[in-house]
Amino acid sequence: MPRPLCWDEGNLQLPFRSADAFSPAFVMTDKTANQDNSHDLYAVRLQKLENLCKEGRNPFQANCAQTHTSGEAIKLYKEDAADEEQAEVSVAGRITVFRVMGKASFIKIQDSDGPIQCYVTRDDLPEGEYNTYFKKMLDLGDIIGVTGKLFKTKTGEITVRAASYTLVTKALRPLPEKWAGLTDDDKIYRQRYLDLIVNQESRQRFRHRAKIIQEMRKYLWDRNFTEVETPMLQSVAGGAAARPFVTHSNALDCQFYMRIALELYLKRMLVAGEDRVFEIGRVFRNEGLSRRHNPEFTMLELYQAYTDFRGMMELTQGLIQHVAKTVIGSLEIARPDGSTINLDGEWREAKYKDLIIEATGDAEWFSHSRDDKLAKARAMNIEVDAELEDYEITNNVFEKLIEPTLIQPTFVTHIPKELCPLAKITVDDDSTIDVFELCINGQEIAPAYSEQNDPIIQRKMFAAQVGEEVQDMDTDFLNALEHGMPPAGGMGLGIDRLIILLTGAESIRDTILFPSLKPLKSAE
């Protein structure tokens, strides 16, 4: 006998498995939340769906009358008014708590504002509705609309007394268990939608992320910066030393790169006469994954004419302090070990060379040969590739020995010129460039430069770069410089790393809604 069919949406008809009985609302752990379609709980929900359809009830509504969010509804409650004088509201959300108590039930539904409690009784609903449909056909995870007046329970919780309800969306898979939550890291990242439903800390972190980016924009708009958009597909991958993702344009029959930085097109805007520009956008680097790295991440880059890297110090410090104060509400950031990062006051400034000499205890470090530096680094138990260049060995010492110790905000200035070909060379030391790297909480947050605007020197510095990660020379950018770019300071801030700092996240994956993951071999 053919299996019955449910709600016909155009030409789409869905077959259902049979189940012998209904079950009351339940919760489920993440160990069983993603089982195959033969799982009993999935089959039970399919059976409920089929029965609803047989009764002429649409379990997937096109719309729902929602007059208030949960937060707005709760604010409407008047402490001094009688129950009959309270506001009537229509709220909607996902069922996260379902407590059946005979002729009455308490449920909690969750929307973007959070949860709100609803009180549903047999006598307040049409005859037969409560026992036949509400108690037996609803499950945790279903999305419903509830209309009724507000009241306060004996325990003091503002609640909606349901005069009516509507099943808006039937959930065929159960939610993770309330108390156990979604604990498997891989599931958290692959099924972020479930993580956000059951984990309020995750939800709050991504709310903070959105607010932080919003406040960054406001801060820069208030300082007359113009927000622009530059190409993600670029014919030359420039602005950083990184491996790009490569793609092919069928229409143009040529190779493109996913951008690895925002820099070179933003500097073209300086040439064009826009003195203050910024962009917040995704960049892509075809490299490793770690606690601090994801192949796809978000950067803020900004450029301001007629200033230098010291002007960027003031701007960067002000920007981060503003965001922390406005969004987090404090300039003191707690660390997991109980210590505190203080973003207030003047931030430390230290030269790169001085930090190296201090950490190695060797005042003559920069006079040693490459081989001597290699031997000394290994003597300090720093793993260093024997094929690295002289400056790269030194930078390994900085990254592995010094940077993790820079917990309080520190502007590390005057780094070796080989590390960045796009900055001004220091006047009194031609081995360094006018650059700072802002380090907080043991990692680089934001580098900034006095931007190189001499096209002759810029061409030489591009040409001097060596190594497999260096991309083709951007001749159009050099051509733009030859038309004249004003002196300028530029800064790039890793937004994901800033979120880690301000929210106490453990990994960059905790700050990205849908981080890069290796696809599963078979769909779950």
What tokens does 226 get?
């113009």
> What is the pLDDT averaged over residues 209-229?
98
Strand order in the sheet with 488-494: 226-227, 276-284, 296-305, 488-494, 443-450, 435-440, 410-413, 348-351
* CA pair distance 519, 493, nearest whole angstrom: 30
* CA pair distance 111, 144, nearest whole angstrom: 10
Q: Is the pTM of this model over 0.95?
A: no
User: Sign (positive/negative) of CA torsion 155, 156, 162, 166?
Assistant: negative
Please give the distance of CA 100 from its chain centroid, rounded to a whole number. 38
* CA pair distance 433, 424, nearest whole angstrom: 6
Mean pLDDT taken over the chain:
88
* CA pair distance 76, 71, nearest whole angstrom: 9
* CA pair distance 149, 118, nearest whole angstrom: 10
Strands 114-121 and 158-169: what pairing? parallel
- The structural domains of the chain, ordered by start, are 40-191 (2.40.50.140), 199-344+474-510 (3.30.930.10)
For residue 4, the 8-state DSSP code is P
Look at residue 364 in the predicted model and tell me its pLDDT.
Answer: 95
Look at residue 522 in the predicted model and tell me its pLDDT.
Answer: 58
Q: What is the pLDDT of residues 405-448, one digit of tens each?
A: 999 999 999 999 999 888 999 999 999 999 999 999 999 999 99
> What is the pLDDT averaged over residues 286-296?
84
Residue of 261, 178, 172, 275 lying closest to 223 (CA atoms): 275
∠ Cα 235 240 241 (to 5°): 100
Residue pointed to by tokens 């917040």: 280
- Is a pLDDT exceeding 60 seen at residue 20? no
Look at residue 180 in the predicted model and tell me its pLDDT.
Answer: 52
Burial class (CB in 10 A: 0-12, 13-18, 19+), 53: buried
Look at residue 210 in the predicted model and tell me its pLDDT.
Answer: 96
* CA pair distance 334, 340, nearest whole angstrom: 5
> What is the pLDDT averaged over residues 153-172?
96
* CA pair distance 52, 72, nearest whole angstrom: 32
Q: Are 376 and 384 in contact (CB under 8 A)?
A: no
